[in-house]
Chain A
Amino acid sequence: MTTITTLDALRAILARDHALPPERMTPDATLEDLGIDSLATIEMLWNVEAEFGIDVPSEPVPLATLGDVADYVDELVAVSATAADPAAGAATTP
């Protein structure tokens, strides 16, 4: 469920900034095919930071598809939630 919600938010950002039609923004669509180059990716991640209230690290992460971006954002959101509430993080750790 989380992934779908994240993907929807990414789709909304890209639809707004790049006028991409929803049907092209499938999880396996590559950023390259969507016309999202390295600069556009930087801009997208900057908007993602505001949208999800997270910090995207400056180290480059290979993000080939829209699904990759959604998974990466979910990871960062989880890390952020753990940092904000360590007890919650500890409870879910086996």
Chain B
Amino acid sequence: MNRRVAVTGIGTVSALGNGAAALIGSARAGRSGIRRLDTAFAHRLTDPLAAIADIDDDQLLLPPAKLRMLDRVARLALHSTNRALEAAGDALAGVDAARAGTFIGTGMGGTLSMDDGYRTLYEDGSDRIAPFTVLMGMHNAAASWIGSVHGLRGPQLTFSTACSSATVAIGEAWRRVACGELELALAGGAEAPLSCGSLKAWEALRTLASVHPDDPSASCRPFSADRSGMVLGEGAAVLVLEPWERAVARGADIVGEVIGYAATNEAGHVTRPDVAGQAAAMRAALASAGIDAAQIDTINAHGTGTRANDATETAAIREVFGTYADKVPVSATKSMHGHLLGAAGAIEAALVLLAMRERVVLPTMHLHEADPRCDLDYVPNAAREGVPTRTALSNSFAFGGSNAVLVLRGA
């Protein structure tokens, strides 16, 4: 890769708050956004839990006739984009629109709208599906609205690789800016998966956490001996990527940079993670950045809180980092923002960059007794303040074996 790529704006909405400051503020304080779900269908769920974003759609300043065409996933994406561009200053000024691209990851797209449609058909017994269901349900809707609202005319791409979607979106955007094809990219992910149908499907796969009897917000406990699974969350995060030199020239407030990325396939079991596969993804990302494992200061783990992932990821980190693994703090922030599926990689990349800027290492919450197979430094229960970190990995390992890893550097 021939050009450095700066991150000059971060926008996000999630259960940890709206905007970069709220996100990092909540995470460094160890505040979990996970709650007991109290929607009308909550009684249908064995363990009604979720991490829900609070958004005010009036802030999107779209006419009601347009807003009605946007599924919640597109609204979350637009909220994040607007905030990212606001943070990036006049990033779009003077950009050749044809060389500005939109790269969004989403695992489930407009699943809420599809769920509404199915309810109309099968529960209400009506044939009157809402006329915009296709437009709201299609996976590329979020990227489409971002590109349209902000007038980007370069590639408008949607990546759907389950839980690594946003990591892939950011990585692929990085490549195109780095190679000189694009002058700017809006890259990230959005997910609004909290429909009855979606939650029941995840429940059927036996991957969801059980409700913590004393504190529902502590239900997702990555690397803990008593972890019981993941908690689905909704939200979005978008990064503004542009060539380093352009960012410097326009006096942008550079948050950090993307310096490496790899996407690999495990070619194994569809859900069971594989140590060699995860290790291969991390190694490939390091190689793409041209650095050694010993240059990594911190890792944002995939860290879902499932029995299978956390032990496998620990072993994979050990395989890549060797004895140095004991010296690298590993944070599993899904313990707070939940699993945003196709947006997870974006909110986690955002957290990594913000944490490096604020010289803090983020905690893995609700970790009081680690699984014996999980023996790394997970920064349990409290952030470490005043710790300088310069280079980080952000891991995303997906069902279907589509793994992706970003290498990020602080400014």
Contact = CB atoms under 8 A, between A and B. Distances in A.
B65 to A, nearest CB: 5
A46 B130 contact: yes
Nearest to B135: A39
Interface of A is mostly: helix
Interface in B53-75: 63-65, 68-69
Contact of A17 (B64, B128, B135): B64
Interface of A: 17-19, 39-40, 42-43, 46, 49-50
B202 interface: no
A10 to B, nearest CB: 15
A35 to B, nearest CB: 8
B58 to A, nearest CB: 14
B131 A43 contact: yes
B324 interface: no
B64 A43 contact: no
A39 B135 CA distance: 10
Interface of B is mostly: loop
A42 B131 contact: yes
B128 A18 contact: no
B132 interface: yes
Contacts of B65: 17-18, 40, 43
Nearest to B127: A55
A43 B132 contact: yes
The 4 closest A-B pairs by CB, nearest first: A46-B131, A42-B131, A43-B131, A18-B65
Interface in B221-253: none
A46 B64 contact: no
B121 to A, nearest CB: 15
A17 B69 CA distance: 12
Given A18-B64, A43-B132, 6 more contacts: A17-B68, A39-B135, A42-B131, A43-B68, A43-B131, A50-B128
Contacts of A43: 65, 68, 131-132
Contacts of B128: 46, 49-50
A19 B135 CA distance: 22
Contacts of B132: 39, 43
A46 B68 CA distance: 14
B311 to A, nearest CB: 50
Contacts of A50: 128
Contacts of A40: 65
A32 B68 CA distance: 19
B134 to A, nearest CB: 11
B355 to A, nearest CB: 43
23 contacts: A17-B64, A17-B65, A17-B68, A18-B63, A18-B64, A18-B65, A19-B63, A19-B64, A39-B69, A39-B131, A39-B132, A39-B135, A40-B65, A42-B131, A43-B65, A43-B68, A43-B131, A43-B132, A46-B128, A46-B130, A46-B131, A49-B128, A50-B128
A17 B130 CA distance: 14
Nearest to A35: B65
A32 to B, nearest CB: 15
A68 to B, nearest CB: 20
Nearest to A47: B131
